[in-house]
Amino acid sequence: MVNSEYLKNLNKAQKDAVLHTEGPLLIVAGAGSGKTKVLTSRIANLIKEKKAFPNQILAVTFTNKAAKEMQLRVSKTLGSAAVGLPWLGTFHSICAKLLRKHASAANLNSNFTITDTDDQIRLIKNICKAENIDVKQLAPRYILAIIDRWKNRGFYPIEVIINQKDIYEKTILPIYKLYQQKLIELNACDFGDLILHCVKILEKNNDIREIYSKNFKYILVDEYQDTNFIQSRWLNLLTNKNKNICCVGDDDQSIYSWRGAEIKNFLEFDQVYKNTKIIRLEQNYRSTQNILSVASNLISNNQNRVGKNLKTTMEDGDLIKLNCFKNGKDEAIGVSDEIEKNKKKYSFNNTAILVRAIFQTREFEERFLKIGLPYRIIGGTKFYERAEIKDCVAYLRLVYQNKDDLAFERIINNPKRSLGETTLKSIHEFAKKNLLNLELSSKKMLEQNLIKPKAKIGLTLFLDLMMKWRNDLNSKKCNHVKLLQLILDESGYSSMLKNKKDLENENRLENIKELLNAMKEFDTLESFLEHVSLATSVDQEWDGEKINMMTMHASKGLEFDLIFLPGWEEGLFPHQKSIEEKGQNGLEEERRLAYVGITRAKKKAIISFSMNRFYQGDWIDSMASRFIDELPEKYIEKNTFLDETKDEIEDFEFNQDLDDDNVRSPGWIRYQKRIK
């Protein structure tokens, strides 16, 4: 019996997972169950017990950070014995290594370059230009997303079967062919190629496949629930000989289908690999029992899951708090008050606000700036520093103040108006020579016919629009909110974003809608612009700790003492688009996202929703998320609502249920019905 130091701190299930070395193994690792410890201990055991040499172990992670951490832990356990772990890394890094050894099989030289996103976009733009395809109608990023999707499905251009329902695929497939040809000519590949080429090489060359499937006596994969088709296929080809594949993950945390992850890889593992042993890591070392009970009850409503029952040795802890607010602004106030109340108990660094969509941070940022609470945005940019927001504000600044040269520079060619660096440089030089601002210089140069014909059209249109917008504002034909809507439509900025079909642009549109919401809180354009200036000039580099804000997607793998989960309303969470596009599968993924959010909390979790929310330009009567119905009552502490049998509203401790005229909102009434 193995009796090593690294096994002493493992529970029975963890120890079983480490010591079960032969045959396929699926480790269902619940949130906070110590899966990294199990993986590193397993590698250490394989080496220490001489089951394999370090170069006979393939260990795959999704991030370089995870790979480095695993390497560090194994090295710490085994010392010099772990120095040679050459096949520990990400899917892409390992495939790049394999591909360089067998580049000729993919019509490449071993010194091939790996193109970054900018290079890929430039290449697509060049192809579109040569083929007379309008990139304003079909954005390069969207084209690349479709190509990447095909590569993730294992298709070279010749193997693609067009989806007849997709009007864009017929146009994109010829681009894909030309794109791949060009990459080969350049002796280059993109990230999708790294795995795709490797798979094709292994499929078509039995001798090469034999070498690696024999060499890799043991294969270990982290976060297996996040693998896509091509990654799973690659692993399957390498496992052909020894069958000693160990995959670790949590199907309940599969939340990345939008970037190609396929949960069925995890759910059907035991069908692909016969005689699979399944070990569940159900001992949680992160959260209190009440948090785990709520999360487990919620996720049990999903049908497509392996199933597990998380438990902890920790105390029951606080009940999960459920708060209802009148609107988003009150929700932000309520969250900030709760943070202030608990700041001695939970440090800012150990406090996090997890939102479904990034635009939701705006209300909280505004509140925190107002009262001086330090914060950081994890995995994103602060609201008023986001590119699309700065673009909108620049338009408004220039309308308000024609001498704002910085705003002029930012938007003069945004969207594209054939006004490149050369034109801008000549305007700058003219302005400097004649002591004028850039806008006035532009007018003078047009009058003197100093602008090239193509640029002249774009510049004239821009200046005419500026004059119109100023007249609209000054004549009170429109207020500052309507003004921005006109600017977005008439400048072509909205069309630019709408025509570029990708998730990034959808988020930008959401952010702009939220900006319009924010503007309605101010009486004039002047007061709004002043607010933005103050918000962006506030020194956010406070010494000390900061409250964390992020999306639930960005929170995966992190943990905090205190977690806030705001905006649990139908349409927002679960997100309407996810349900519309993917139906039941989309709903289950949204529920898994809720599970991930709750299980980030170590000690306290606070869920909230609003009865009314200003969303996409209108006040909507919100309805509590269906997920709230799925939270077990015994583990929930609700804020106190008015007892309908009593006449005195003083008994109502949290009086957000009343409108200004003391009339209860439909949202409140519906919520009361739901909780009874």
Q: Are 554 and 356 in contact (CB under 8 A)?
A: no
Is 584 part of the annotated catalytic residue set? Answer: no
Name the strand (E) or helix (H) holding 396. helix 387-400
Q: Going along 215-267, which residue ranges are E strands?
A: 218-221, 245-249
Residue 250 zone, left/alpha/beta (φ > 0; ψ -120 to 50; rest): beta
26 three-class SS: strand
List, in sequence order, the alpha helices (H) in 565-665: 576-598, 626-629
**Max Cα-Cα span within the chain:** 92
Contacts 24+ apart (CB under 8 A), 663-671: 665/326, 665/611, 665/612, 665/621, 666/621, 667/610, 667/611, 667/612, 667/621, 667/622, 667/623, 667/624, 668/324, 668/611, 670/623, 670/624, 671/324, 671/611, 671/623, 671/624
At 255, list the tokens: 């939340």
Q: Are 356 and 567 in contact (CB under 8 A)?
A: yes
Is 223 part of the annotated catalytic residue set? Answer: yes
- Residues in a beta bridge with 613: 620
Tell me 640's DSSP state: P
Selecting among 253, 351, 360, 656, the annotated active-site residue is 253
Cα–Cα distance, 33 to 308 (Å, whole number): 12
The full DSSP string for 67-128 is HHHHHHHHHHHHGGGGS--TTEEEHHHHHHHHHHHTGGGGT--TT-EE--HHHHHHHHHHHH
Cα–Cα distance, 397 to 218 (Å, whole number): 61
Q: Are 224 and 250 in contact (CB under 8 A)?
A: no
332: Cβ–Cβ under 8 A, 6 or more apart, which residues?
363, 364, 366, 367
Selecting among 21, 36, 276, 485, the annotated active-site residue is 36
At 351, list the tokens: 């406090």
527: Cβ–Cβ under 8 A, 6 or more apart, which residues?
none
Selecting among 600, 603, 604, 613, the annotated active-site residue is 600
Selecting among 148, 193, 222, 251, the annotated active-site residue is 222
Cα–Cα distance, 156 to 230 (Å, whole number): 12
In single-letter form, the type of residue at position 188 comes to A
Q: Are 398 and 473 in contact (CB under 8 A)?
A: no
- Residues in a beta bridge with 614: 619
Selecting among 35, 151, 217, 390, the annotated active-site residue is 35
469 three-class SS: helix
264: Cβ–Cβ under 8 A, 6 or more apart, which residues?
none
Handedness of CA 552, 555, 556, 561 (dihedral sign): negative
Is 36 part of the annotated catalytic residue set? Answer: yes
Selecting among 148, 190, 193, 223, the annotated active-site residue is 223
Is 501 part of the annotated catalytic residue set? Answer: no
Q: Are 36 and 73 in contact (CB under 8 A)?
A: yes
The catalytic residues are 35-36, 222-223, 253, 600
